[in-house]
Amino acid sequence: TALGGQQEQVLLPVLILSSVRDLGEFGRAGAQGVLLLTVSLLGLAVLTRLGGLSSIYGGVAARRARRPGVAARRWGALTYSPRMGATFGWLSERAAVVGFVRGAHAVLVGAILLFLAAPTIAAIPASLTSGTFLGLPPRGLSLRWYQTVLTDPTWTSAITTSLVVSIPAALLATILGFCAALTLVRGYAKARSAYMTFLLLPMLMPHVVTALGLFFVTIAVGQAFTERALVIAYTLFALPTSVIVMTASLQGFDWDLDRAAQSLGAGWSQRLRHVLVPLLRPAVLVSLLFAFLTSYTELIFALLMQTVTLTTVPVKMWTGILYGISPAIAAAAGLMVVATGAAFAVSALIRRGPRPVS
């Protein structure tokens, strides 16, 4: 839709949003959501039948059990094995051949990383333009659009709303994810797969269908178009990521430490505060970070909840793209990129911890 496809809305998520926001036909949107949900459930059933979902949350044991395929093993042997002569004969004795193969591998990896990062990084130079139209390369260099984002009342209101609803959602998702992961690792052995699948449903199901269902529920309970509804929805959307992060960390946790504390008379609250949480601090920080990013960048449900006074940053950017492409949109995206990079850097420093004094 943002690229100009409003005349031929053939994708189901676009049709669902159009039915709710533009036409007000909730019945049509519900039928389209059921159709999309049915297709997703069939795909999930096929995936579960073929290989299961254990690869998502299998932990250390599952990672050790998985072995690279034949092609991966041969590629690794071809690229880095000192016995390249067994494959190439006399050609492998030439250093140029070895350097070429390893160089080609490095170029391929670099091209993939550039492909992944370029769309995100492109927002920064586009936001530095001094002109009034968004484009690359920028026409002159200026920080005027960052000043606009940080001083314009509509942008500052959107930033405040996003922070107000994203921070509590990240905290709630991390707390619930920790409790769910603890129960998953320490109990429910027989129903572990079903339990985990249920926890991951907000991630496995189409986002627009979940948002549509939450929209109908909030209307039914009288909480639609409120910040409370956004907090609840964002907690639900961020919960699967928190569960995966905390489960992976708890599966590698040394439970002898917890049993030692228990043998010394520590209660569950003391063990939680002085043993589990300090040792799991890196996982807690990562969970908070990803839960916050998931909440802060959510668009679909925020579009359904949008009002004059309840507008988040993604919704502000979306409406700006549709009705007038201003460089301020790129500036807002640039701020999000910089903030995300800074959060990752701080998380890495905290995980590394203080250096020992010699």
Q: Over the stretch 123-172, which tens digit does the pLDDT of each residue have? A: 888 888 888 887 788 888 888 899 999 999 999 999 999 999 999 999 99
Using a pLDDT cut of 70, give the percent of the chain over it: 80
What's the pLDDT at 8?
A: 55
If one counts every other C-beta atom within 10 angstroms of the C-beta of residue 16, the result is: 26
| 161-191: pLDDT as tens digits | 999 999 999 999 999 999 998 888 877 666 7
What element of type H or E holds 334?
helix 327-352
Place of tokens 């986002």: 207
**DSSP3 helix / strand / coil % (the chain, rounded to 5):** 75, 0, 25
Q: What is the pLDDT of residue 59?
A: 45
The greatest distance separating any two alpha carbons of the chain, rounded to the nearest whole angstrom, comes to 77
Query: Residues 28-87: pLDDT tens digits?
Result: 888 988 998 898 888 888 877 776 666 555 544 444 444 555 666 666 665 555 555 455
How much is the pLDDT for 230?
95
For residue 264, report the phi and psi dihedrals to the nearest 5 degrees: -85, 5
The CA distance from 337 to 346, in Å, is 14
Provide the mean pLDDT of the chain: 81
Q: Is 171 helix (H, G, I), strand (E, B) or coil?
A: helix
In the predicted model, what is the mean pLDDT of residues 269-296? 88
Q: What would the mean pLDDT of 270-288 be, rounded to a whole number?
A: 86
pLDDT value, residue 351: 64
Residue 14 pLDDT level (bands cut at 50, 70, 90):
confident
Residues 6+ apart with CB under 8 A from 143: 128
Distance CA 203, CA 222 (A): 26
162 or 17, which is more confident?
Answer: 162
At residue 80, the pLDDT reads: 56
Would you state the pLDDT for residue 6?
54
Mean pLDDT throughout 110-117? 92
> Is 227 in contact with 57 (CB distance < 8 Å)?
no
Q: Band of the pLDDT at 354, cuts 50, 70, 90?
A: low
Q: How far is CA 223 from the centre of its chain?
A: 26
Give residue 83's pLDDT: 55
In this prediction, residues 196-205 reach a mean pLDDT of 87
What per-residue confidence (pLDDT) applies to 157?
94
Q: Report d(CA 290, CA 170) in Å as an integer.
A: 8
- pLDDT score recorded for residue 53: 62
Decide if pLDDT at 3 tops 60.
Answer: no
Which pLDDT score, from 0 to 100, does residue 72 have?
A: 62
